[in-house]
Structure 1
Amino acid sequence: MSQRDVFLKEFRGETIGTISNQSSTDELFQNEILRPILKLQNDLFVSSFINYLSKNKADFYSHSVEKKLNIIENSIQKDIKFRNSLKGMIIGLFTVEEYELYIKNSSSLNKRMMGMLIERLKSQVQLFERVD
C-alpha cells in the first residue's frame, strides 16, 4: 500500500454505518469509503453549494424550505457540471484500489454517492441563508 493510500485511510477515519455478512459490495463501499469521505468533506460541500447558489440561484433565499429542498436536489441531479465537481471532491479521496472498485460499478455507486450528498445538504438547509 502506498503512502498516499495509508494517509487517505487514516485521514478519512473509521467506517460509518453497520457492516454485516449480508452487506452487499455497494453497501460496504458506502459505509467504509463514501460515508467517511462525505463527513470529512462536508464543509467543502456546503461552501461549494453556497457558491453555486450565488452564481446560479440568486432567488434561492426567497423560497420556502420545501422549495429550497427541491432546489438542492435538482441542482445536484440536473446540473451535470456541478454534479461532476462534487463527484471529483469525493473521488479525489479514493485510494487507487478503491478507485478500481468504484469504476467496476460506478453507475450504482454514483447514485448512492449523490443520494447521500443530497440528503446531507438538505439536512443542513439552515446553513444556506443569505448573509448580507
Structure 2
Amino acid sequence: MNDRDKGLIALRGNAIGEILPNSGREEIFQNQTIRPILKLQNDIFVESFLNYVNKSKSDFYGFSTEKKMQFIDNAVHKDIKFRNALKGMVMAMFTVEEFREYTLNSSNLNKRMMNMLIERLKDQIQLLVRQE
C-alpha cells in the first residue's frame, strides 16, 4: 500500500455499519469504503448540490419539502453530468485496491452509492438553503 492509500484510509476512518461473517462483497465495500467517503465528503456534496440548484434556475428554495425531495432524486438520477461529478468525488477517494474492487461490480456499487448520497442530501434538507 502506497502513502496515498494509507493517507486516504487514515483520513476516512473506520468502517461505518456492521460487517458480519455472512456479509456480501458489495455490503462490505459499502460499509468499509463508500459510507466513510460519503461522511468525509459530506460538506462538498452539500455545496455541490447548492451550486447545481443555483445553476438550474429552478425555484428550489420556494418548493415544499416533498418537492425538494423529488428535485434531489431527479437531480442525482436523471442529470448524468451531475451524477458523474458526484461519482467522481467519491471515486477520487478510493485506494487503488478499492478501485480495482469497484470495477468488478461498478453498476451495483454505483446504485448503492447514489442512493446513499440521495438519502444523505434528503436528511440534510434543512442545510439546503440559499447562500448569499
Please indicate the TM-score interval, normalised by the length of the shorter structure: over 0.9
How is 1:70-109 mapped onto 2 (pairs within 5 angstroms)? 70-109=70-109
Percent of aligned pairs with the same amino acid:
58
**Which moves more between the two structures, 58-67 or 85-94?**
58-67
TM-score w.r.t. length of structure 1: 0.97
CA distance in 2 between counterparts of 1:57 and 1:41 reads 25
Structure 2 Cα separation of the partners of residues 128 and 43 of structure 1: 11
Change in Cα spacing, 1:84 to 1:46, as seen in structure 2 (3 Å) is same
Q: Quick one: which amino acid aligns to residue 21 of structure 1?
A: P
CA distance in structure 2 between the partners assigned to 1:9 and 1:109 by the alignment: 19
Aligned partners of 1:127 and 1:57: how far apart in 2? 19
The 2-side partners of 1:99 and 1:47 are apart by: 25
Distance 1:2 1:57 in 2: 44
Paired amino acid for 1:118: I
Moved over 3 A (4+): none
Aligned residues: 132
* Inter-partner Cα distance in structure 2 for 1:85 and 1:130: 21
For 1:32-85, what per-residue CA distance to the aligned partner results, in whole angstroms no more than 9, with x for missing partners?
A: 000000000000000000000000143111110000000001100000000000
Q: Which residue type is aligned with residue 105 of structure 1?
A: N
Partner of 1:29: 29
Q: Residue 128 of structure 1: CA displacement?
A: 1.2
Q: Which residue of 2 aligns with 1:130?
A: 130
1:12 aligns with 2:12: yes
C-alpha change, 1:121 and 1:57, in structure 2 (3 Å) is: farther
> Per the alignment, in what secondary structure is the counterpart of residue 14 of structure 2?
coil
Counterpart residue type for residue 67 of structure 2: K
Q: Secondary structure at the match of 2:59?
A: helix
Question: How far is the alpha carbon of 1:130 from its aligned partner?
Answer: 2.3
TM-score using structure 2 length: 0.97
Three-state SS of the structure 2 residue aligned to 1:116 is: helix
Kindly indicate whether residue 112 of structure 2 is the aligned counterpart of residue 115 of structure 1. no
Q: Which runs of 5+ in 1 are unaligned?
A: none
